[in-house]
Amino acid sequence: MKKYSICLFLTIFTLVGLDSLNAAQLKIAASVPDLASIASYIGGDKVETFSIARGNDNPHFVEVLPSYMIKVSKAALYLKVGLSLDQWADDIIQGSRNSKLVIVDCSADISVLEKPGKADAILGDVHPQGNPHYWLDPSNGLIIGQNILNALKKYDPENSSYYQANFNNFKKEAENRIKSWKEKMKAFNEQKIISYHSSWVYFATAFDLHIAGNVEPLPGIPPTGKHLSELINLIKSNNIKILLQEPYFPDQSPKFLQRQTGIKIFKFAPSCAGSGKDDYLKHFDDMISQITK
C-alpha cells in the first residue's frame, strides 16, 4: 500500500510539473506554418507554436472558426503574413478578445516583389501592397526570423540571450543550406518555368528562374481555352520543362498542358507541412530534391 502511494505521488508530481512547464511556455499563433516553424526554432522550449492554416491550405482563403478564436485567446503573440494575404486573421484576432495579444507583421523589412501600380478588379486578385508569398525565398526566412526575435525579446526580455542564441543557430543553418540549394539549382539557372498561381515569384528569384507565364491569365482567374493555347505555344517555343502547381488548384489545365507539351508538373504546397523547428527548411530540401533529381 505504501509503495502504491509513493508511485501515485510521483505520478501526480510529474504531471503537475509538466503542466507547469507547458503553462510557462509562450503560446505563439501564426497564420501559416512557415512563420510558426521559424518561431519554434527561435523560441525553442520557451514557446509553443501553432498555425491556423495548414500546409496544403490556400492561405488566401481560410474559414474563420470559433475554435481558432479560442486558441488565439490563449496566445501571447500572433504572427501575420501581412501584405493583405491573411486579412481573415483579423476576424480571428478580434473574436479571440485577447487584449494582451501582440501582433507581429512578419513582412516588415521584406523587399516586396510585384507591387502593382494600382489595384483594379480588372487585374484579377492583385494584392495592392505587392506579392505576399515572400517566405518562399529562404533568404527572407532570416528577415522573418529577425522580426520574430525582436518581438520575443520585447515580450520576454529575461530570455533574450536564449532567443538570440537560437536565432544565431537558425541563421547559420539557413545560410549553409541556401548555399547548398543554390549549388544544386545551378543547372537550372536562367531557365524559364510556368507556375499556376503567382505564388512562386520569390522562389524563382531566389534560384535564378524566370516565370514565363502562369496557368491563371490573371491572379484568381481560371484559364480560358485561348490562354491555354497561348501557353502551349510559349512552352514549346521556349522549351520550358517545369510547371509549379499548388495542390489546392484543379489539375485539369496543368495536365492538359502536360499532354500537349510534355512539361513536367511539380505539385508543391507553398507552405511547409508543420510547425516544428525543422519544417521550414525541410520544405526547401524536399522541393529542390524533387526538381533536381
Question: Is the CB of residue 21 less than 8 Å from the CB of residue 130?
Answer: no
Residues in the chain, overall count:
293
In order, the DSSP letters of 3-41 are HHHHHHHHHHHHHHHHHHHHHHSEEEEESSHHHHHHHHH
pLDDT at 49 (0 to 100) = 98
d(CA 108, CA 134) in angstroms, rounded, equals 11
* 16, amino acid identity: V
| pLDDT tier, 13 (very low <50, low <70, confident <90, very high otherwise) | very low
Instruction: Tell me: pLDDT of 146 over 90.
Output: yes
Q: 12 or 223: whose pLDDT is higher?
A: 223
DSSP-based three-state secondary structure for 50: strand
Residue-wise burial string across 216-228, b where 16 or more C-beta atoms lie within 10 A, e elsewhere: bbbbeeebeeebb
Which CATH code for domain 2-107+137-175?
Answer: 3.40.50.1980
261-265: long-range contacts (C-beta < 8 A, 24 or more apart)? 261/232, 261/235, 261/236, 263/194, 263/235
Count the helices and strands in the chain (H runs, E runs): 10, 8
**In CATH terms, is domain 183-292 a member of 3.40.50.1980?**
yes
| pLDDT tier, 92 (very low <50, low <70, confident <90, very high otherwise) | very high
Name the phi and psi angles at 213, rounded to 5.
-175, 165
Instruction: Tell me: pLDDT of 6 over 80.
Output: no
pLDDT tens, residue by residue, 49-62: 999 999 999 999 99
Cα end-to-end distance, the chain, whole Å: 63
pLDDT at 126 (0 to 100) = 64
The average pLDDT across 207-233 equals 95
Q: 77-80 and 210-214 as β-strands: parallel, antiparallel, unpaired?
A: unpaired
d(CA 279, CA 21) in angstroms, rounded, equals 24
d(CA 62, CA 30) in angstroms, rounded, equals 13
- Cell, residue 14: 510529474
The average pLDDT across 228-254 equals 97
The average pLDDT across 132-154 equals 98
Do 2-107+137-175 and 183-292 come out as alike in CATH topology? yes
Instruction: Tell me: pLDDT of 19 over 60.
Output: no
d(CA 221, CA 256) in angstroms, rounded, equals 17
Instruction: Tell me: pLDDT of 9 over 70.
Output: no
Residue-wise burial string across 78-91, b where 16 or more C-beta atoms lie within 10 A, e elsewhere: bbbbbbebbebbee
Question: Is the CB of residue 134 less than 8 Å from the CB of residue 85?
Answer: no
Supply the pTM of this predicted model: 0.89
* Residue ranges of domains in the chain: 2-107+137-175, 183-292
* 36, amino acid identity: A
